[in-house]
């Protein structure tokens, strides 16, 4: 019995002396592994993603447009005002600054005495550069893509009946666009950010007098994961 107790005590003393050393060795090995992994990681390595939804408004307008009635009488219409819309974006992060992804939005502008409306839907591939400043991340970039615009111009009150109307102009067309943007992301938690963004969409393939453009202001939440 005494021999057994002596063996157990010796074993405990031996394990007590060995485990700290093993712990230090494991920590040193882990630290060295992290350092080696960091040293070997490519400069443009994938770091994670961030994505979410945003609402927007702003001020957009077009050139003056002349609408011709069936009786050949022309009426000049000014299209402009504050749009309202919704959409979202996702970004994949590479290296310290580069982010590549996609975004898409629908924006509706109601204008005029009889509630005419211009609706723009667009989306595309985005790329931007981001810099971390405290809890904020500043970014600047652009989107290349396309979409369509639908303009319904109403020149007189629309009656609540099943009669066709002669005082309505309807147009729909597609376009390719470039939209430069800039903004800031404010960290709420490690995985949640509030994002503020401004952009200006340019119709580069199909300029039209009734195409609405101007500064749009966005606010929303972004969720994601990063190394």
The pLDDT averaged over each successive group of 10 residues in the chain (227 residues) is 40 39 45 50 87 98 87 82 97 95 98 93 97 94 97 87 82 97 95 96 96 97 87
Going from the C-alpha of 3 to that of each of 8, 9, 15, 75, the distances in angstroms are: 9, 10, 18, 111
* CA pair distance 92, 47, nearest whole angstrom: 8
* CA pair distance 153, 119, nearest whole angstrom: 11
pLDDT of residue 157: 85
Architecture in CATH of 46-226 = Beta Barrel (2.40)
Burial of 10 from C-beta contacts in 10 A (0-12 / 13-18 / 19+): exposed
Residue that the structure tokens 């005029």 belong to: 112
* CA pair distance 37, 133, nearest whole angstrom: 26
Going from the C-alpha of 178 to that of each of 120, 146, 214, the distances in angstroms are: 14, 8, 13
pLDDT of residue 31: 47
pLDDT of residue 29: 47
Q: Where are the domains of the chain?
A: 1-40, 46-226
pLDDT of residue 100: 98
pLDDT of residue 165: 76
φ, ψ (nearest 5 deg) of residue 213 = -150, 160
End-to-end CA distance of the chain: 56
**For the stretch 62-99, what's the b/e string if a residue is b when 16 or more beta carbons lie within 10 angstroms of its beta carbon?**
beebebeeeeeeeeebebbbebebebbbbbbbbeeebb
pTM exceeds 0.85 for this model = no
Which tokens go with 190?
């490690």
């Amino acid at each position: 019995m005494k021999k057994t107790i002596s063996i157990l005590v010796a074993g405990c003393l031996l394990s007590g002396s060995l485990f700290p050393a093993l712990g230090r060795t494991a920590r040193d090995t882990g630290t060295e592994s992290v350092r080696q992994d960091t040293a070997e990681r490519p400069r443009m390595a994938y770091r994670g993603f961030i994505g979410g939804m945003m609402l927007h408004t702003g001020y957009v307008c077009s050139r003056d447009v002349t609408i011709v009635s069936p009786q050949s009488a022309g009426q000049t219409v000014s299209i402009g005002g504050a749009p309202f819309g919704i959409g979202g974006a996702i970004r994949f992060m590479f290296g310290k600054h580069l982010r590549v992804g996609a975004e898409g939005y629908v924006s509706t502008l109601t204008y005029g005495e009889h509630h005419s409306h211009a609706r723009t839907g667009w989306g595309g591939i985005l790329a931007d550069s981001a810099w971390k400043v405290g809890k904020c991340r500043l970014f600047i970039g652009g989107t290349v893509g396309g979409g369509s615009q639908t303009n319904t111009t109403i020149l007189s009150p629309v009656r609540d009946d099943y009669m066709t109307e002669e005082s309505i102009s309807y147009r729909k067309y597609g376009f390719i666009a470039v939209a430069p943007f800039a903004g800031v992301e404010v960290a709420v938690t490690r995985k949640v950010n509030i994002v503020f963004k401004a952009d200006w969409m340019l119709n580069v393939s199909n300029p039209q007098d009734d195409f609405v453009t101007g500064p749009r202001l966005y606010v929303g939440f972004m969720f994601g994961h990063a190394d």
